[in-house]
Amino acid sequence: MNELLEFIENNLQITYILILAIFVGIEVIKSIPAVLHTPLMSGANALSGVVIVGAILVMLHADPTDYIALSLGFVAVVLGVLNVVGGFAVTDRMLQMFKRKK
Amino acid sequence: MGILLNIIYLIATVTFIVGLKMLGHPETAKKGNLIAAAGMGLAIVGTVFVHEQQVSPLIYILIGAAILLGSIIGWLIAIKVEMTKMPELVSLFNGFGGASAALIGLVEYGKNVNNATQSTTIVSAIIIGAITFSGSLIAWGKLNGSLKSVVRIPFYNIINNIIIIGIVIFATFMVATGVDSKLLLYALLATGLIYGILFVLPIGGADMPVVISLLNSLTGIAAAITGILYNNMVMLVGGILVGSAGIILTVAMCKAMNRTLGSVIFGAFGGAAAIAGENKTLGSIKSTNPSDAAIMMNYANNVVIVPGYGLAVAQAQHIIHELEELLTKKGVNVKYAIHPVAGRMPGHMNVLLAESNVEYNMLVEMEDINPQFGNTDIVLVVGANDVVNPAAHNNPASPIYGMPILDVENAKHIIVNKRSMNAGYAGIENELFYNSKTSMLFGDAKAALTDLVAELKNI
């Protein structure tokens, strides 16, 4: 419990952003019609590929001789990019199919 | 340089929020997706190039190669995948995101053992990342049929709970002692992976929409935790947005199936006992043929089509669109009624029909179509079963009692296309088939609908 309070004290800004982001997320997504649930999910899935930023940071900070860190980072970047590119591309493909009656 | 990168991240964060918002309307969805993708591209390029660190060219080459490799594979998968396979694909990509978070945690752990806050975020990222990775792979296997049976280890509930408590104790121990042991770190990863497998393995196919949504949400949370580790706002906000989206969809799916999240994770569907007691005779069934069905539909004013996943299994999406166009041309008012869990992931049926060129404004959601069934002359049920089972309303002993369904029994006539009289996904008898207003049109969906269309053309 003390650790939690300490964390909040030391990271007040992050805590605020965290809480506000939860509300923004709920508000933005709440009213999405069922028609779009699948594209929403695959789009959101692509967004979670934002971990790629962390994976790139791992590689940038790694010592060029630290092969373990470099190879783990490499795999992390590949998987992250796969998630991002594949996710956005397939969402786009799906949304192209949605047509409205003229 | 620092401020430039922060501004880039700020812009990216805004594109994520705006993009998600625009994904909520059919008119703007495509643009919204592209805006979020552009923001993501900006964040990636910024992270690689905008910093003051000395980085050896080798590392740049490796990063470039990794991005290129991931992009090519991701792109190829995305343009090739069939729309019926969307749930598998989302699970697979989702697993990759989780794995990425876990790998980051593995590298960062050794550098941060003395800082309790940092090591807490790191072990959380490893655990959640590992659970989503192995869980998503199991979900992927179940969805593509390579893991067919529902595996239930005796007492799996208790075992799973013991494992999750064990993981928490293990992780707390690692953070509290600040132990820097690669062995323990990989052991933690392994228990996370094992839990992910055991967590998804017992969950039945009908509950898959819930599981996919939940795993999606968890990957977002893993990304957000990694964001806290790097004090990186774009990761934090992006991850939380995904987490919220996943939670909302999870709750929506649970509601649509009348299940609590707890019962999906911890309980078997219905259980054998509830189904065994249902073997009473429900009366006689009446069967019809394509020619009679065609005549009935030809002279109807309002027709509602209820497509289920069986339609997609039989690859009959295109022929159903042809039927709907033909009827519309003959002056019949046709709509599709879409149950929220039709398909294997939230909104899946809409995508499958959209692929067959059905206009999305013909797809009516459950709440909007239910009051209209009273004025409907004919309901055509194709490949759906549990979502039109009146037991959900009137049989408290039924496992699906209380589940919101499409009230097709209020229509004047119901035509049900089925291969045979087998029970549905949940293994429950459906008294709708024995209703005096119901006619059964037996046969494979594609073949039966093709005959129906041919008969209609002759009228």
C-alpha–C-alpha distance, residues B210 and B112, integer Å? 36
Percent of chain B at pLDDT exceeding 90: 54
ipTM of predicted complex: 0.93
Question: Can you tell me the mean pLDDT for B360-372?
Answer: 91
The average pLDDT across B277-293 equals 74
> Which chain A residues touch B81 with a CB distance below 8 Å?
90
Cβ atoms within 10 Å, residue B374:
10
Is B407 among the residues known to form the active site?
no
Q: Which tokens sit at B302?
A: 């309002």
- Calculate the CA dihedral of residues A48, B105, B170, B231 and round it to 10 degrees: -70
Q: How far is CA B206 from the centre of its chain?
A: 11
pLDDT computed for residue B421 by the predictor? 73
Contact with chain A for residue B23, Cβ under 8 A = yes
Q: Is residue B79 within 8 angstroms of chain A, CB to CB?
A: yes
- Residue B54 confidence class, pLDDT cut points 50, 70, 90: confident
Answer for the pair B86, A94: CB distance below 8 angstroms, yes or no. Answer: yes
pLDDT of residue B270: 40
In the predicted model, is pLDDT for residue B277 greater than 90?
no
| Average pLDDT along chain A | 89
Residue with tokens 């900070």: A61
Angle between helices A51-61 and B57-80 (to 10 degrees): 160
Q: How confident is the model at residue B239 (pLDDT cuts 50, 70, 90)?
A: very high
Please say if the pLDDT value at position A102 is more than 60: no
How do residues A12-64 score in pLDDT, each as one tens digit? Answer: 888 899 999 999 999 888 888 888 889 999 999 999 999 999 999 999 998 88
- Chain B, 250 to 279: residues with Cβ < 8 Å from chain A are 252
Q: Cβ A78–B238 below 8 Å, yes or no? A: no
* Mutation for testing the A interface, residue in B10, B76, B107, B328 having most A CBs under 10 Å: B107
Cα-Cα-Cα-Cα dihedral sign, residues B138, B142, B147, B148: positive
* pLDDT average, residue stretch B76-93: 92
* For range B408-422, the mean pLDDT: 88
Contact between A51 and B56 using a beta-carbon 8 Å cutoff: no
> Does A53 contact B235 at a Cβ distance shorter than 8 Å?
yes
In angstroms, the separation between the Cα of residue B147 and the nearest Cα of chain A is: 23
Q: Tell me which chain A residues have a C-beta less than 8 angstroms from the C-beta of B185.
A: none
- The three-state secondary structure class of B24 is coil
pLDDT tens digits, B174-198: 888 888 888 999 999 999 999 999 8
